[in-house]
Amino acid sequence: MQEKILVLDFGGQYNQLIARRVREHRVYAEIKPFRAISTREIVEQGYKGVIFTGGPNSVYDPQSPHYDPAILDAGIPILGICYGDQLIAHMAGGEIRAARSSGEYGKVALRVEDDALFGGVPTESVCWMSHSDYIAQPPQSFRVIARTDKCPCAAMCDERRKIYGVQFHPEVLHTEYGKQMLNNFLFAICGCKGDWQMDDFVQHAVERYRVELAGKRVLCALSGGVDSSVAAVLLHRAIGSNLTCVFVDHGLLRKGEGDFVERTFRERFEMNLIRVDARERFLSKLAGVVEPERKRKIIGEEFIRVFEEQSQRIGKVDVLVQGTIYPDVIESGAGDASVIKSHHNVGGLPDAIEFDEIVEPLRDLFKDEVREAGIRLGIPRDLVWRQPFPGPGLAVRVIGEITEDKLAALREADAIFREEVAAAGADTMTDQYFAVLTDLRSVGVMGDARTYGYTVALRAVTTDDFMTADWTRLPYDVLARASSRITNEVAQINRVVYDVTSKPPATVEWE
Ligand code: XMP
């Protein structure tokens, strides 16, 4: 059986990060909401260890999440982090108190004792804290194994039951030895071997789908983005010509993108690829529409319609492939985060099409793991390392009404910006960079003539997860060259500005 760790989710903000850090040690980790799995199921499913995550609550709040105390005697090692630590203390009879003053936030000096969890960790180091409540008295069978100036119990353990709790966040890079601590928990305490490998994943998935999907007609919507590309190539390797990919060209792609996708999949991978030229259809539906969410809705719906028509042409489809990845699964499961922007490529699609089954081959993978799988499958680096591009494409980068003329201007400006960033090697500094055609026109001068042209905004962001982002400090020279070329080469544009806003308060895209 594949060895695995359970990350039991109590609503903390770093849960995905915890799972990812575990997987970085080549141990497979799954995140489950605490309500979704019982102690008995945890035991039956053979987890090698459980990590209780942080959470926003106080254990004394009646609304706060609690868990079955039997887990403490189930014979499975446990590591509680932040709220998870306090919850363990509470369940085992310790005492939690509200912070006397302001709590502890940010980098804090940590002093640890000799313990299995802290093997290879110096006595004094820095950890990352974010809490107001604290453990005033650990439960009877536990001993304190770390302290900070404000926190009398920054870590505790019950060696006999292999239960550990840390008030700080080992998963956050600001905790200097966090990686070592997780390593100790996984290998010294849980006895993991660390043999989870991407090659195995790819090979197992290919073999599994070859058997499960034998003789079935399988359809995949290919966007040219990393996720759907990797999903398609993986299934193509398993079932070859029984897979048909449909690539809807909605006319909202970047310069040269449609041809690139077609070349890659038709020629390099010899897939059954249908490229649907739906440019006019989308443009006419979007005519006169200015409101961003309406644009997204129209594109999402039209996409379904085009796809549906194609699938009717193909005939009965047995299986639909989706490029859902792990963060999509978790985000859609969380439920209470407010909708900032509706991402049309999550959900939506299946309702309209008749098929028996959905296959999501990347459902268990994080983005970087999807990329690794892509490389193992022989997908070109250019595609695997592509920067993210929103499903609704340039529609959310043309502010206001979308016209062919505005799209053409944006496509050129965006291509120039990307060329200049790449030519200077600055693409390694930034995680996403693009141009936005604002709806603003302003006065300029060219030769002796007055111009009245569009303002283009350049945007480049640095981020780990796109939930928060900072604007990238691109070199002035790069911005200068891009600006000069754009205003010279794109007739409709006479002004270039650089967006220096982080997220929050702004978002990455302008719409
Ligand atoms: P925001 O603008 O929400 O963007 O800060 C965060 C990341 O998501 C991408 N994005 C989208 N991706 N459909 C997508 O597939 C969408 O509707 C959409 N809107 C934003 C954006 O490019 C950035 O990477």
Give tens-digit pLDDT for 88-109: 999 999 999 987 677 888 999 9
- The residue-averaged pLDDT of 143-162 equals 96
Cα→Cα distances 276→231, 270, 355, Å: 20, 17, 20
How far is the centre of ligand 1, averaged over its atoms, from the C-alpha of 2 (Å)?
34
How far is the centre of ligand 1, averaged over its atoms, from the C-alpha of 433 (Å)?
12
- The residue-averaged pLDDT of 195-214 equals 92
Closest approach atom of ligand 1 to CA 469: 5
pLDDT of residue 57: 83
Measuring from atom 11 of ligand 1, which residue has the nearest CA? Answer: 390
How far is the centre of ligand 1, averaged over its atoms, from the C-alpha of 412 (Å)?
21
Mean pLDDT score of the chain? 92
Q: Which residue has the tokens 């754009």?
A: 486
Q: Which residue has the tokens 């398609």?
A: 232
Measuring from atom 18 of ligand 1, which residue has the nearest CA? Answer: 390
pLDDT of residue 169: 96
Q: Is the pLDDT of residue 506 over 90?
A: yes
pLDDT of residue 333: 46
Cβ neighbours for 265, distance < 8 A, ≥ 6 positions apart: 222, 229, 232, 245, 247, 271, 273
Closest approach atom of ligand 1 to CA 389: 22
> Which string of b and e fits 50-64 if b means at least 16 CB within 10 Å?
bbbbbbebbbeeeeb
pLDDT of residue 428: 93
Cα→Cα distances 264→31, 224, 371, Å: 35, 9, 16
CA distance 186 to 189: 6
CA distance 124 to 117: 14
How far is the centre of ligand 1, averaged over its atoms, from the C-alpha of 342 (Å)?
9
pLDDT tens for 26-57 read: 999 988 999 999 999 999 999 999 999 998 88
Which of 508, 510, 511 most suits a substitution to test ligand 1, by most atoms within 8 Å of the C-beta? 508
Which of 227, 295, 341 most suits a substitution to test ligand 1, by most atoms within 8 Å of the C-beta? 341
* Cis amide bond preceding 504, omega within 30: yes
How far is the centre of ligand 1, averaged over its atoms, from the C-alpha of 7 (Å)?
27
How far is the centre of ligand 1, averaged over its atoms, from the C-alpha of 436 (Å)?
14
Nearest to 389 by CA among 221, 220, 223, 511: 223
| Predicted TM-score of the model (pTM) | 0.76
Q: Which residue has the tokens 């990845």?
A: 325
- The residue-averaged pLDDT of 44-73 equals 93
The residue type found at 253 is: L
Task: List, in sequence order, every residue forming a beta bridge with 14; answer none if it has no partner.
Answer: none
Measuring from atom 3 of ligand 1, which residue has the nearest CA? Answer: 507
Q: Is the pLDDT of residue 375 over 90?
A: yes
Q: Is the pLDDT of residue 58 over 90?
A: no
CA distance 27 to 189: 13
Displacement of CA 79 from its chain's centroid (Å): 24
Nearest to 368 by CA among 1, 47, 17: 17
CA distance 65 to 424: 51
* Minimum mean pLDDT range among 65-79, 425-439, 459-473: 459-473
Which of 431, 466, 511 most suits a substitution to test ligand 1, by most atoms within 8 Å of the C-beta? 466
Cβ neighbours for 397, distance < 8 A, ≥ 6 positions apart: 410, 414, 434, 435, 436, 437, 509, 510, 511
pLDDT tens for 335-344 read: 333 344 444 4
Within 13 Å of residue 187, how many CA atoms lie on the same side as its CB? 15
Within 13 Å of residue 431, how many CA atoms lie on the same side as its CB? 14
Closest approach atom of ligand 1 to CA 511: 2
pLDDT tens for 307-351 read: 888 888 888 889 999 898 887 776 554 433 334 444 444 444 545
Measuring from atom 22 of ligand 1, which residue has the nearest CA? Answer: 390
Measuring from atom 17 of ligand 1, which residue has the nearest CA? Answer: 343
pLDDT tens for 278-313 read: 999 999 999 999 999 999 999 999 988 898 888 888
Q: Which residue has the tokens 């770093």?
A: 14
In percent, the amount of the chain with pLDDT more than 90 equals 76
Measuring from atom 24 of ligand 1, which residue has the nearest CA? Answer: 388
CA distance 234 to 227: 11
pLDDT tens for 158-183 read: 999 999 999 999 999 899 999 999 99
Closest approach atom of ligand 1 to CA 506: 5
Closest approach atom of ligand 1 to CA 225: 15
The answer to whether 170 and 81 have CB atoms below 8 angstroms apart is yes
CA distance 393 to 251: 9
Strand 357-359 to 319-321 pairing:
parallel
Measuring from atom 10 of ligand 1, which residue has the nearest CA? Answer: 390
CA distance 163 to 93: 14
Measuring from atom 20 of ligand 1, which residue has the nearest CA? Answer: 390
Catalytic machinery residues? 82, 169, 171
Closest approach atom of ligand 1 to CA 340: 3
How far is the centre of ligand 1, averaged over its atoms, from the C-alpha of 147 (Å)?
42
pLDDT of residue 340: 45
How far is the centre of ligand 1, averaged over its atoms, from the C-alpha of 156 (Å)?
41
* Cis amide bond preceding 505, omega within 30: yes
Cα→Cα distances 375→164, 229, 239, 429, Å: 38, 11, 19, 22
| Residue 158 in tokens | 């019950």
CA distance 125 to 110: 5
pLDDT of residue 418: 97
pLDDT tens for 443-454 read: 999 888 999 999
φ, ψ (nearest 5 deg) of residue 210: -60, -40
Strand 134-137 to 95-97 pairing:
antiparallel
User: Within 222-363, where are the H helices?
Assistant: 226-239, 257-262, 279-286, 292-314, 326-334
Closest approach atom of ligand 1 to CA 388: 24
pLDDT of residue 345: 46
pLDDT of residue 14: 83
The answer to whether 251 and 282 have CB atoms below 8 angstroms apart is yes
Pocket of ligand 1 (CB under 6 A): 296, 340-341, 343-345, 388, 390-392, 432, 466, 503, 507-509
